[in-house]
Structures are given as C-alpha cells and as structure tokens.
Amino acid sequence: MQTPVNPENMQPGCTSPIVSKSVYGMILTLGILVGLFVHAKVAAQTPTKQDPGIPVHYTDMRQAAGITFQQDSTQTEEKYYLETMGTGVAWLDYDQDGLMDLFFVQSAATDIYKPPHPLRCAFYHNNGDGTFTDVTEKAGVGGEGHYGQGVAVGDYDNDGYPDLFVTGYGRAILYHNNGDGTFTDVTAKAGVADEGQWSTSAGWFDYDKDGWLDLVVTNYIDWTPKNNIWCGERRPGYRAYCHPNNYRGQHIKLYHNNHDGTFTDVSDASGVGKPEAKGMGVVLADFNNDGWPDIAVANDTWPNFLFLNKRNGTFEDVSLISGLAVSEDGGYEAGMGIDAADVDGDGWQDVYVTHLDFELNRLYHNNRDGTFTDVTYRSGIGNKAVLMSGVAMKFLDYDNDGWNDIVQANGAMVDNVQLYHGEVSYKEPLLMYHNLGKGQFEKVSESLGSDFVRPIVGRGLATADYDNDGGIDIVTNNRGDYPSLLHNDGGNANHWLTVLLIGTKSNRDGIGASLKLTSAGVTQVEQAKGGMSYMSASDPRIHFGLGKRTQIESLEITWPSGQVDRLTSLPVDQIVAVKEGSGIVPRRFPKIAPVWPRGSPPSKTEGAK
C-alpha cells in the first residue's frame, strides 16, 4: 500500500512532500492527457460493441439478509501501518447443503487501541431463504485476539468438508472443519502458524499433484509498533502512513501437505521463499498450460512474482523475463489484488493486478510462450480509474454472455487523503469492466444501480452465486464499515452452467483441474484456481456463461491426476456435481428467492446498458 502523498518523496520522519500539490496536479493532468491521447488512438482501432447486452442490476441485500458484522479498522492517531489493510471475506459451503455460507475476517485490539467490545470474525450460515444466521460461536471460528487479515478455503484432508485458513499479523490460524457445524483450531499440530510474520493472502493448490492440497501464504513487511515511524506533515491531522519502502519485505511461504494433518515448510527448498517479497495477493493457476499449477503474486511497490512449476517439487522464478514483474513502463507499482482468467478466448490464463491512485490497474495478456504483454490501454481499460485506489478484484461473467468481466473494489488507504490530493476520495465506488469480446473492455459501473456505485472503503471482495439462480453475486468487506452483499438481478436472463468438482484420485476440491466447454461451436476454457482477489476466497464452483446458446455439446474435464472425463448433452441453467471418473452425480443445490429490502426486486429495465 502506498501513502496518500507522493511515495517517491516520502522518507522516514519527513514532514511534507517535496512536490507541491499544485505542481503535482499539473504533472498528473499532463499524464492523464497523454494517457487519454494514447487511449483514443487505441480505441479508434478497437471494434465497437454491437450487442447492447442484457440489463443487470445489483442490489445490496446485507440488511435484509440479517448480516450485522462490522469491520473495525482499529484506527488511531499513531497511524499504525496495520490499520489501513482492511480484512478479507470468504464464501464456502461448510455444511455441504448446497448453499454458500459467508465468513468475514476481523481485526483485533492493539497495544494502543482498545475497542469497547471484543472483536471476532463472523461466520454466517445461509438459511436457504435469502437470510443468514450468525453461527460464529457454535462453529468456534471467532478468533478473538487474532488480528486477522485474509482467508483461504480448501479441504486439506479430503474429508469432504472445506477448512479455513485465516492469515493475520503475527500468526495465522488453521481451522479444521469437523463436519458437524463446528471447527477445531489445529494450527499447532499442522505446523502452519507462520509465527512472527505478517500474512496477508493465501491459497490452496496441489503443486506436486499427489492428491492433497498444499498451502501458499504471502507475507508482507517487517513492521512493528516499535518501528512505526512518522511520515507526512507535522501538523494536526496530516500524519500519514509511511511508504512500504521504509520497511524490509518478508518472504512467501509454501507448506507441503504430509497427508496426516501436518505440513512441512518447503519455502526455501522449493525456491518460492528465496526472494524478498511484499506480498498482497496471490493466484494459483496453470499459466503455461503444461498441466502443473504455478504461482503469481502481487507485490506492493516490489516486482510481482511468477513462479513456474518445474514438476519436481521446485519452482523457477521467471518474474522478470515473463513481463509480469513490472508495468509496461518498467515501474514497480502498489500491487494489491490479483486474478487470472482467459479474457480473449484463446485458452490461456491472462492476469489482472490492481494498484493504488495515480497508477494504472494492469491487464497482462498471456503470449503463450512464457511471456506476458501489458495490454492495459489496448484492452480499453487504460487510465479510467487513475484517481481510484484499486484493492481487490475478481474475474466473473456477471451477465453470462460467455466472456470474463472484471469487478474491482476500491478505497483509499487513509481517511485524510484529500489533505494531500484533493482529486482523490477516501470512499470510492466499485468498478465493473464489461468484456465486449476477445479482451476488449468497457466500463459499465454506473449501469448496475446505485448500490453498486455507492462509495465504500473496499478491501476484501469475493464472488458467489449464493442463491443458486445463475447470477454471480458479490460481497465486499469494507474498512471500518458494514459489508456489502450485492445480489445480481438479471444476469440469468442469459444461459449458464455451473460445475462443482469432486475429486477422487485428485484433491477433493479438484483445484488444478482444467475445464473445456463446447456449446454451439464456441469453446470456453476455465481452471479451478487457488487464491485470487485480495485476502479473500470465492465460490469454488466453476461458472460458464452461455449467452443465448441453449445446448452444450461437451464438457471435458482434465483432472490434476491426469484423469479426463468427457460429458455430453449437459443441461443448461443448472448446477451439476461432477465426480472424478464417474461423471455427474446427484447433489442438491436449492434455488432460493432473496428477501428484497423493499419488498420486491428492482425493475428489469433499471440499470440497462
């Protein structure tokens, strides 16, 4: 995370930016004009949108759903670096009833911040009627006293029930799902406490394809209350959070699953833990289509990482030669959220990384030769959010037209940012970039309704179809505020298919599987990935938008074990469970009607593009 002042001009103990606000504004304006000129030239070569699409509207259902959790920023005048991070959120079906439940990560008291009541994470059971019930105490996952940061979901012991790994400042927690609605803290036994580190994001994947999920943990910087230096001007209200360059980075952790409930730290042996890192986000996917999962990490003002799996328990650091390490102009930016998806229909995973204000959110195209090209302007994204601080993001097909779109949570790092940059707001709206086809994007946020663009201090973000109606819903964990639970109304006007993977030889979650769907001659490729977004975990089911196509000729699933299942004549507008080696198996996925906050859903015409 950068500070609200010009990061290049902030040094330990400095009192003011070297560049004045007026001069900096002139530089910014010139940069924007140059960017707009470049963007205009690119846009002139970009095909215009032919199909207006279907109207989609997002409505915030939090209050109607009974979610009362409120994130505590633990903010003080001392500007502890820890305060500004926010916390993550996860979707998971912890009781396997076919409905996605919600877990919100919470902060904790510090040596100088004493909240009026104990701070705990919050776990909500999906009741199947549009409402949620707080089951935190019964489940035993409150984590009181743990300054939580992020969360990763995975069935690490292959017992059929998803487990929770909660990152945090000073240590992490692994909760084992007992299968009866309760969890047990098994951190010490498992050996994944990450003691003394500042862990942010994490992700589960099976890097050696032995059928058991391993764990990647991104760690941030060596900050403590004792080295919390003063940055910003020395006058009331102007103190700022310092630049990450004032602190040494930590290192990525890789824990190998021993198949007995314990893990072995193989960070150094694998090569993943060797370089210094300032890790914020992680996505675990197969970037070179060799059938083995790789690791991409968004680092804060530090080169992003790409580790390619060498298939022998080690990884090759190809960050710099891949083109993912830096932006097109060679700069290290404030990497926060990250995800991967095929945005142009070529079957290869492209990458998107969010950055803070006065930087660009970067889209990197996979060149299919081990390298990536920064196509931020060419794609139409350009500098449309240059005054926003991008934090979390996720690829999703919100309108089910068959192309991966981008949703992004934004919010400045500190609440006094306007004292330094009058053009920037602390609270910022969500962004939605609609994929027009083949990786060309158009900003459509304002068309999605007032709840979607309500300014928030967005941090964690995760997606799921929580009512099983075929529309992808969105949840955000907002700093110092209530979360947003945005229900998708209208996305299911197009056809769709969602697939729950059940591994047998492979890990139970099927993470690492590749799915190729063919419908009316159109082929779509998706992967079951680990990590994604920023400190958050999304619906593990694989979703395909089909547009107006009503028939699916085939679905080919290549499992991590090498097993290939080919299914034909699948139904559309359904959620199906596919078991490795067996095909579709019976599984209930109840469809529910959300409890609308005003008694009825919004007009189908409202929010039309």
Tell me what the mean pLDDT of segment 122-143 comes to.
98
Asked whether the predicted pLDDT for residue 409 surpasses 90, the reply is: yes
d(CA 186, CA 173): 8
Closest CA to 460 of 20, 106, 79, 18: 106
Which of these, 472, 471, 407, lies nearest to 441 by C-alpha position? 407
Mean pLDDT, the chain, rounded, equals 90
Tell whether the model's pLDDT for residue 410 goes beyond 80: yes
What average pLDDT does the segment 198-223 reach? 98
Average pLDDT estimate for 149-153: 98
Spatial CB neighbours of 239, under 8 Å, sequence gap ≥ 6: 77, 79, 230, 231, 232, 233
Yes or no: say if 152 and 203 are a contact pair by the CB < 8 Å rule.
yes
What pLDDT digit, counting tens, does each position of 78-104 carry?
999 999 999 999 999 999 999 999 999
The answer, yes or no, to whether residue 600 has pLDDT greater than 90, is no
CB distance 434 to 594 below 8 Å: no
pLDDT one-digit tens code per residue, 350-367 = 999 999 999 999 999 999
In the block, tokens 């290049």 appear at 8
Q: How far apart (Å, rounded) are the C-alpha atoms in residues 202 and 151?
A: 7
Whether residue 11 has pLDDT greater than 50: no
Asked if residues 482 and 62 have their Cβ atoms less than 8 Å apart, the reply is yes
In order, the DSSP letters of 279-312 are EEEEEEE-SSSSSS-EEEEEEBTS--EEEEE-SS
Question: Residue 214 pLDDT more than 60?
Answer: yes
pLDDT value of residue 276: 97
CA 466 vs. chain centroid, Å, equals 17
Q: Strands, E, within 69-120: which ranges?
A: 89-92, 101-104
Q: CA-CA distance, 515 to 543, in Å (whole number)?
A: 10
- Please tell me the total number of residues recorded for the chain in this structure: 609
What is the band of 413 on the pLDDT scale with cuts at 50, 70, 90?
confident
Q: What is the pLDDT of residues 31-50, one digit of tens each?
A: 444 444 444 444 333 333 44
Q: What is the pLDDT of residue 19?
A: 32
Query: Per-residue confidence at 602, pLDDT binned at 50, 70, 90?
Result: low
pLDDT band at 599 (very low <50, low <70, confident <90, very high): low
Residue 596 pLDDT exceeds 90: no
| Structure tokens belonging to residue 607 | 């929010």
pLDDT of residue 422: 81
Confidence class of residue 423 from pLDDT cuts 50, 70 and 90? Answer: confident
Percentage of residues of the chain with pLDDT beyond 70 = 89
Answer yes or no: is pLDDT of 64 > 80: yes
Which residues, 6+ apart, have CB-to-CB distance to 23 below 8 Å? Answer: none
Closest CA to 265 of 283, 278, 253, 251: 253
Find which of 28-42, 62-76, 320-334, 412-426 is predicted with most confidence, using mean pLDDT: 62-76
Rounded CA separation 430/458 (Å) = 8
pLDDT score, position 598: 64
pLDDT beyond 70 at 415: yes
Distance CA 98, CA 90 (A): 16
Residue 293 has which token pair? Answer: 């999962």
Q: pLDDT per residue over 554-579, tens digit each? A: 999 999 999 999 999 899 999 999 99
Nearest CA to 327 among 299, 346, 288, 307? 299
Reported as a pLDDT band with limits 50, 70 and 90, residue 16 is: very low
Residue 261 burial (C-beta neighbours within 10 Å; 0-12, 13-18, 19+): middle
Can you give the three-state secondary structure of 216-230, one letter per residue?
Answer: EEEECECCCHHHCCC
**Spatial strand order in the sheet of 89-92:** 89-92, 101-104, 122-126, 132-134
Encoding tokens for residue 279?
A: 């890790």
- Three-state secondary-structure class, residue 147: coil
Q: State how far the Cα of 291 lies from the Cα of 302, in Å rounded to an integer.
A: 29
pLDDT in tens, 181-193: 999 999 999 999 9
The mean pLDDT value for 427-434 works out to: 98
